[in-house]
Structure 1
Amino acid sequence: MNQLVFLSLLPVVLLIAIGFIAGRAGWIRTVAVKDLSNLIFLMLTPALLFRTMSHVRIEQLDFKPVAAYFLAVMLLFAGTLAVQGFNRRGAVLALAATFSNTVMIGIAMVSLMYGPQGLVILLTLVSVHALVLLTSATLVLELAVVQEQKQQGTLDGPGVAPRHAVTTVLTALKNAVLHPVPLPIIVGLLFAQTGWVMPAVIDKPLELLANAFGPLALVLVGVTLAFTPVGRHWRQALALAAVKNLLHPLLVLGLCYLLGVGGLPMVVMVVASALPIGANVFLFSQRYKVAEELVTASVVVSTALAMVTLTLVLLLVGKIA
Structure 2
Amino acid sequence: MESPALTALMPVVLLIVLGFIAAKVDWIRASAVKDLSNLVFYVLTPALLFRTMSTVKVGDLDFSPIVLYFLAAGIIFAGTMLVFGFNTLAAARALGHTFSNNVMIGIPLIGLAFGQEGLVTLFTLISVHALVLLGCGTVVFELAQARQLSTQGQPQGLARTLAQAIKNSVIHPVPLPIIVGLLFAQTGWSIPGVIDKPMQLLGQALGPIALMLVGVTLAYSKLGSLIKPAVRIALVKTMVHPVLFITVAWLFGLRGVPMATMALAAALPTGANVYMFTQRYGVGQEEVTASIAISTGICLLTLPIVLLLLEKIGY
TM class by shorter-chain length? Answer: 0.7 to 0.9
Pair 1:135-2:143 in alignment: no
Contact 1:245–1:302 (Cα < 8 Å) also in 2: no
1:124 aligned partner = 128
Q: SS in structure 2 opposite 1:276?
A: coil
Alignment: residue pair count: 299
Contact 2:241–2:267 (Cα < 8 Å) also in 1: yes
- How far the C-alpha of 1:306 sits from its partner, in A, is 1.2
2:161 aligned partner = 168
- How far the C-alpha of 1:7 sits from its partner, in A, is 0.8
Match of 2:93 among 96, 113, 121: 96
- How far the C-alpha of 1:315 sits from its partner, in A, is 2.1
Alignment map for 1:1-321 (pairs within 5 Å) = 3-84=3-84, 86=85, 88=87, 92-93=89-90, 95-99=92-96, 102=99, 105-114=101-110, 117=120, 118-139=122-143, 142=146, 149=151, 160-262=153-255, 263-264=257-258, 267-268=261-262, 270-272=264-266, 274-276=268-270, 278-279=274-275, 282=278, 286=282, 295-319=284-308, 320=310
Cα gap change, 1:6/1:219 in structure 2, threshold over 3 Å: closer, same or farther?
A: same
Cα gap change, 1:181/1:119 in structure 2, threshold over 3 Å: closer, same or farther?
A: farther
- Residue type matched to 2:27 in 1? W
Name which of structure 1's ranges 260-269 and 188-197 shifts more when overlaid on structure 2.
260-269
- Residue type matched to 2:105 in 1? M
Name which of structure 1's ranges 52-61 and 309-318 shifts more when overlaid on structure 2.
309-318
Cα gap change, 1:101/1:22 in structure 2, threshold over 3 Å: closer, same or farther?
A: farther
Distance 1:317 1:75 in 2: 20
- How far the C-alpha of 1:143 sits from its partner, in A, is 5.2
- How far the C-alpha of 1:107 sits from its partner, in A, is 3.3
Distance 1:184 1:172 in 2: 18
- How far the C-alpha of 1:126 sits from its partner, in A, is 0.9
Cα gap change, 1:189/1:313 in structure 2, threshold over 3 Å: closer, same or farther?
A: farther
Distance 2:262 2:33 in 1: 29
Cα gap change, 1:101/1:21 in structure 2, threshold over 3 Å: closer, same or farther?
A: farther
For structure 2, list consecutive stretches of 5 or more residues without a partner in the other structure. 112-118
Distance 1:241 1:50 in 2: 29
Contact 2:91–2:140 (Cα < 8 Å) also in 1: no
1:289 aligned partner = none
- Residue type matched to 2:247 in 1? G
Cα deviation digits, residues 211-260 of structure 1 (max 9, x gap): 22222222222212211221234334433442344223322232233334
- Residue type matched to 1:197 in 2? S
For structure 1, list consecutive stretches of 5 or more residues without a partner in the other structure. 155-159, 287-291
Distance 1:163 1:266 in 2: 47
Taking structure 1 as the reference length, the TM-score comes to 0.77
